[in-house]
Structure 1
């Protein structure tokens, strides 16, 4: 078992805290040009790629390094700040830290009672391990193309969508095209996914690019004894 960090934005942290998010997808970077498949060969995940020349096809493979494995423990890095003793906000102060996902007005950080100074939020990438309040146990890791996600998986990603009043049973419903959804959960996932990708990388890793992704399933767990 390894203990590894994982970053989530504020919206996804709230989904985890609410029990709505039990899966996350992460881009597989560093795939060779010409990759046409990613498979598990019984021991490891590998990328299959090849070139065609003079009528012959030459296949190659590259072993992929998993971001985590089943049984690993992940501690969530989230937008945070170190609170002073006189903080006005009292919501979810974990040790000496406060978290953007758990305050009523996340625009500002905590405010010191005595001097009125606003403590700005700090990026999740800089959150120290000792501040972690959310611990996750990896239950499965697999690979698929991004657009393979369905509504069931999008719900597990934390997106609820908007259901139609017809429940998908009304014939020729004009509100939802007889699908039962006015906005399917995967649509929210799609827009959120693109919002997390740098503009320069959208052609490679955005929704339309349909990249290969790690699909990581997890469940909430207690902080490991060795980390206490």
Structure 2
């Protein structure tokens, strides 16, 4: 089973577990090679479909780049598939696991050894997917530029919408403020500005401005 990580500093893991975040954008592995290349999608053959007409090709939701001379860079394939269950990564310590529990450390999967804690104790990058208690199921995938996100999708990404009354001096607020932080520390006049700030905080300053292609994964919490 695969695992997926959400940013803890911005509260995104908890937002997923609370059901407030049901969508995530992941930057594609490479962007447009140069201005002569256009985005292209796979052309499916009859044997790429099952008996019910569903696409079963591994290239489903993939895209690639081809220039005006026909030179092709290869397919950019999403990491996850529709219908796939994915473990939500959390460090072992946050899950309350006993640090003295020893598993088969020859494979680096134990929580604790006689001399040190295993990497997954505090760093969820190194945890085992099969030991994670929470999972999501991918329900849809699409490809778009980062800045093409809709206001509706911003809310699915975990942006909160908070009522502040109708007597605000700022007309753009229209009685609401938006934030990626439940404490309300960060406030923005609209959902897209809040999401842009979140992306820059999670992926580094300038991530929003660079406007890369992203795979958009919509999901539901399974457990």
TM-score range with shorter-chain normalisation?
0.5 to 0.7
**Superposed displacement of residue 174, structure 1:** 4.0
**SS at 1:144 equivalent:** strand
Aligned counterparts of 1:211 and 1:38: Cα–Cα separation in 2: 16
Structure 2 residues without counterparts, runs of 5 or longer = 45-56, 100-119, 178-187
**Superposed displacement of residue 26, structure 1:** 0.2
Stretches (4+) displaced over 6 A: none
More strand by share: 1
**TM-score, length-scaled by structure 2:** 0.65
**TM-score, length-scaled by structure 1:** 0.64
Asked if 1:81 corresponds to 2:79, the answer is no
**SS at 1:177 equivalent:** helix
**Superposed displacement of residue 128, structure 1:** 2.4
Asked if 1:192 corresponds to 2:198, the answer is yes
Structure 1 residues without counterparts, runs of 5 or longer = 51-56, 83-91, 98-119, 223-228
**Superposed displacement of residue 176, structure 1:** 3.2
Contact preservation (8 Å) 1:33, 1:49? no
Q: How many residue pairs align between the two structures?
A: 172
Aligned counterparts of 1:178 and 1:187: Cα–Cα separation in 2: 12
Report what 2:15 is aligned to: 15
State the superposition RMSD in angstroms: 2.9
**SS at 1:138 equivalent:** strand
1:29-68 equivalences in 2 (<5 Å)? 29-34=29-34, 35-37=37-39, 39=41, 41-42=43-44, 44=59, 45-50=62-67, 57-61=68-72, 62-68=74-80
